[in-house]
Structures are given as C-alpha cells and as structure tokens.
Amino acid sequence: MNLVAGATGMVGGEICRLLSEQGRTVRALVRETSNPEKVARLRSLGAEVVRGDLKDRASLDAACRHASAVFSTASSTMSRHEGDSIETVDRQGQLNLIDAAEEADVKQFILISFPSIDVNFPLQSAKRAVEDRLRRGRMTYTILQSTFFTEVWLSPALGFDPAHATAQIYGGGHNKISWISFQDVARFAVAALDNPRAANAVIKLGGPEALSPMEVVRLAEQAVGKPVAVQHVPEEALRAQHAAATDSMQQSFAGLMLYYAHGDAIDMTETLRAFPVPQLKSVREYLRATA
C-alpha cells in the first residue's frame, strides 16, 4: 500500500495517477475541505481515500497503517485553511507524518523538496528540518529536491502571461533555470519506489534544458507570434521585500523569488542514468501547448 499525502495537489495527484496506472495500490490522504472533484477523481483512479490532516497526528497514524511507502508532497504554500502555515504544515505537519510512518513500520518515505539555497526563509528551514529528520530516522528515504515547476513559475498566476503579451520576471532574467514539469517530478517520485538507487538518497531534479527567463520570453514570443512586454522585479526590490516581510509566507515567497533571480541550472546526466525517465517535458513543448 502506498500512501500519498498531498494527493489533491499537482504532484500528489499525478503520483496517484501513475501508481494506479502501474497497478499499484494507492491510498490518498485528503481533507474534509479538499475539492470534491479532485477527491472524486482520486476515487475514479481506484485510490482508497482516507481523511486526515498533517496537523492531526491521530489521523496520520490511521492513514499510515499497513502502508509500505509514503509519498509526501503536501504544502501550505498554495492551498491552506485556517491553522495552516509553513510552521504547522510544512514543518511540524511533515514531522508528524514521518513519526507516524516510522511507527507504522513504513519502509520508504519519498519527500518532495527543493535544493538548498543561499537565502534564509521559513519554507527553506522547514524543508531542511524535515530532510534532517528523515536522514536521522529508521526508514529508507528518498529526498527529491526539485527546482522550479514550469507550470507554476511560467504561468499567469505568477505574472508570466505571453498570451496577453506580458511577462513578469524576477531579477535581471539572465541566470539559467532547469524548469521542470510537475508531471516529471511525479515520474521521478514513482521511479524512486523500491529502487535501490534511490535508497537513502538526496536527488536534485531539473528539466531537460536550462534556460534563462529572458530566453524563455523569446521562445514564448515565437510560440504566440507577438512581442511580449517584460516587467522586471529588480533583485534589490526582492531583497527589500524579503527583509521587510512580516509573516512566514511573505518572507518565503520573497526568498523563492530571490532563488529564481539567482538561477538554478541542474545537470541531469547522472540522475537520468540512474533513473531512466524518458523524454522530460521541455519548456518549448509547454509554451507551444499553452500558446
């Protein structure tokens, strides 16, 4: 039995789909407040749906019962309700889930995280604390440190909207990022299951090509066939936002935008040798599909 925490999210939902496509058993952790359509979709995949919350240890004990692997993609950054925060969900909630999994004798824990960054912010310290707990624990762990998701950071929600001829860029836009599709993150997560090469491993994940945000803008212009007006948020403004932030979420978003401004090119050669996940989705494909 494979438990997926974050099953109604982008990566978690895709992990459930892939597991069920491979004929593996899936238990999806959802909340009372989770979107009913997403829960129905999980059921239609054949997943066993269990209610729980990362803040509620008893619900996690029940969810982990007889599970052999746990995938955790849950995060409060995009989907949160009263009481949810980086401290309660991304830090303590994940620690609760690890404790519950360990007590239930789960064999492997697969965590979606991001690479260590040279900027302090609460989401990063939460991720590092959870990773440290896994390293010190009894379970086989796989920590997948993914860089920026294409579908999130190159989307209108974050100001990247070539269809409407505008693109907001954080920083100068010349540092390269290995944008990765959330679907490929899910494919690596599923490929890590029972894979000796993923045992007690920390693996950085990026897409097939590192491109600077300005290079992405040029490709987007070709895809939509019109010029795109670029608006830069200067690095100094991001640093000021990071320093002035009054809550963890604001400070974390400023930290992530500074990370973007600094760039994150990841050489995937070695990882792809160990995990032959074919045809990673490129930014070009994404831009063509969304143009």
Ligand X SMILES: NC(=O)c1ccc[n+]([C@@H]2O[C@H](COP(=O)([O-])OP(=O)(O)OC[C@H]3O[C@@H](n4cnc5c(N)ncnc54)[C@H](OP(=O)(O)O)[C@@H]3O)[C@@H](O)[C@H]2O)c1
Residues contributing to the site for ligand X (CB under 6 A): 5-12, 31, 33-35, 53-55, 73-80, 84, 89, 93, 112, 114, 146, 148-149, 152-153, 182
The distance of Cα 29 from the centroid of its chain, to the nearest Å, equals: 17
Q: Smallest gap, in angstroms, from Cβ of residue 169 to ligand X?
A: 16
Q: Smallest gap, in angstroms, from Cβ of residue 219 to ligand X?
A: 19
Residues 6+ apart with CB under 8 A from 100: 57, 60, 61, 63, 64
User: How far apart are the C-alpha atoms of 160 and 214, rounded to whole Å?
Assistant: 11
Q: Name the residue among 124, 101, 129, 117 with its Cα closest to residue 175.
A: 117
Q: Measured from the CB atom, is 3 or 139 closer to ligand X?
A: 3
Q: Smallest gap, in angstroms, from Cβ of residue 278 to ligand X?
A: 22
User: How far apart are the C-alpha atoms of 45 and 26, rounded to whole Å?
Assistant: 9
Helix (H) or strand (E) holding 109: strand 108-113
Q: Name the residue among 112, 116, 154 with its Cα closest to residue 281.
A: 154
Q: Smallest gap, in angstroms, from Cβ of residue 79 to ligand X?
A: 3
Q: Measured from the CB atom, is 16 or 217 closer to ligand X?
A: 16
User: How far apart are the C-alpha atoms of 245 and 233, rounded to whole Å?
Assistant: 16
Q: Measured from the CB atom, is 41 or 80 closer to ligand X?
A: 80
Helix (H) or strand (E) holding 216: helix 213-224
Q: Measured from the CB atom, is 77 or 221 closer to ligand X?
A: 77
Q: Measured from the CB atom, is 38 or 232 closer to ligand X?
A: 38
Q: Smallest gap, in angstroms, from Cβ of residue 252 to ligand X?
A: 10
